[in-house]
């Protein structure tokens, strides 16, 4: 494998990591080697290994402005030194930062060494990590056309990179052991699952559709990705509902390819996948997300007409909102709206920008 010339600083959540993986794969198609730099022992390390991408692990401290923790600050400082040493060895031409605390050591150390940086802001509101790196970035790209907190004219919209793969609906249903006919609902709380959705969604849907799942002309069926750690406790909660299937982890390509409606958190990666597959959704933003960025993301989708927002404090309304979206005509309009948000081609546009910066050296 050739020496990486591009380093992708990422980590913390799947929403930050998978766009980096998509970019790495696009760059490889164009003959450019890249590597992932993130938190040692984080999920980014596991995913990089799975994707056969070189990985450099460093310490990462999560900076909480409301409750500063000196130990986290020390981790961040240590990570900066480790990342700087790694970049001195790698000698990349460009470092791309995807936001999140795990990307901060790589981006700031690159800037301290005079290595050009490209930022990709994934949320509808500028995050703290990107704010800290904004001043010295060579280029700032965004997932949303407008980003709150980002100065006018400072950025370039490219969209949110996703793995652009689709399956035939019948094949997708077969892979997930689901039936043709019923309204297929995907429940997904991100790469690690969501305890809040696990506790809230089954009861809400049972209340809306009854124990027989009689919502819509042909009934409904649910595939719920609980996250591996929550699966054991979830099974007995839904075993009386024949139409409700739970899994610790689902094949996301298959799930999105056959979903008629989704109930999800509002991370940018999840929302971008919903748009790419044209799936209407009910977004339940994580109330504790940094700077409440998930709410801003979800509101942007709702404004476009591609989804509805149900905040955690209003979760009792979930069943009611769900029933409103069951009619086909309603979902058809939302699918059409989702098409205007699709990130198709985003990874290619981001690769173009990264290589423009690299080629301008």
Cα–Cα distance, 289 to 128 (Å, whole number):
12
Backbone angles phi, psi at 317, to 5 degrees: -90, 0
Mutual angle of helices 268-277 and 14-29, in 10-degree steps = 60
CB 248 within 8 A of CB 224: no
Is 10 annotated among the ligand-binding residues? no
CA distances from 168 to 262, 277, 319, 345 (A): 18, 12, 29, 20
C-alpha dihedral sign at 151, 157, 162, 168: positive
Is 14 annotated among the ligand-binding residues? yes
Cα–Cα distance, 146 to 29 (Å, whole number):
30
Alpha helices in the chain, H assignment, sequence order? 14-29, 43-50, 70-90, 104-112, 128-134, 169-175, 195-209, 231-238, 252-258, 268-277, 293-304, 318-324, 328-339, 346-359
**Strand 156-157 and strand 139-142: pairing?**
parallel
Is 106 annotated among the ligand-binding residues? no
Is 288 annotated among the ligand-binding residues? no
Is 123 annotated among the ligand-binding residues? yes
Is 13 annotated among the ligand-binding residues? yes
Is 294 annotated among the ligand-binding residues? yes
CB 27 within 8 A of CB 351: yes
Tokens of 306: 């591609």
Cα–Cα distance, 282 to 114 (Å, whole number):
44
Residues annotated within a binding site: 13-15, 123, 163, 191, 294
The annotated binding site for UDP-N-acetyl-alpha-D-glucosamine is made up of 13-15, 123, 163, 191, 294
């Amino acid at each position: 494998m050739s020496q990486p010339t591009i380093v992708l600083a990422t980590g913390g959540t799947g929403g930050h990591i998978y766009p980096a993986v998509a970019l790495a794969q696009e760059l490889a198609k164009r003959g450019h080697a890249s590597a992932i730099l993130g938190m040692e022992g984080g999920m980014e390390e596991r995913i990089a290994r799975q994707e056969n991408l070189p990985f450099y692990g460093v310490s990462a401290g999560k900076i909480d402005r409301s409750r500063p923790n000196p130990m986290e600050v020390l981790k961040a400082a240590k990570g900066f030194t480790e990342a700087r040493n790694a970049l001195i060895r790698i000698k990349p031409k460009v470092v791309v930062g995807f936001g999140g605390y795990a990307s901060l050591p790589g981006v700031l150390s690159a800037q301290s060494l005079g290595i050009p940086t490209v930022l990709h802001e994934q949320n509808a509101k500028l995050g703290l990590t990107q704010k800290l790196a904004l001043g010295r970035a060579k280029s700032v790209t965004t997932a949303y056309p407008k980003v709150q907190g980002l100065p006018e004219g400072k950025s370039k919209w490219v969209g949110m990179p996703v793995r652009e793969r689709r399956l035939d609906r019948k094949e997708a249903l077969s892979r997930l052991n689901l039936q043709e006919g019923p309204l297929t609902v995907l429940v997904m709380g991100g790469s690690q699952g969501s305890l809040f959705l696990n506790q809230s969604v089954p009861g809400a849907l049972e209340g809306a559709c009854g124990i027989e799942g009689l919502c819509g002309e042909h009934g409904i069926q649910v595939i719920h990705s609980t996250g591996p750690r929550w699966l054991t406790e979830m099974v007995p909660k839904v075993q009386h509902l024949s139409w409700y299937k739970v899994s610790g982890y689902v094949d996301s390509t298959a799930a999105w390819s056959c979903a008629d409606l989704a109930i999800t958190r509002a991370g940018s990666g999840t929302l971008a996948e919903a748009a790419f597959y044209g799936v209407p959704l009910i977004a339940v933003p994580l109330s504790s997300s940094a700077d409440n960025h998930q709410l801003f993301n979800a509101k942007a989708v709702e404004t476009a007409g591609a989804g509805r927002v149900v905040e955690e404090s209003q979760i009792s309304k979930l069943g009611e909102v769900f029933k409103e979206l069951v009619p086909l005509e309603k979902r058809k309009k939302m699918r059409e709206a989702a098409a205007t948000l699709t990130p198709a081609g985003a990874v290619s546009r981001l690769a173009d920008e990264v290589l423009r910066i690299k080629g301008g050296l």
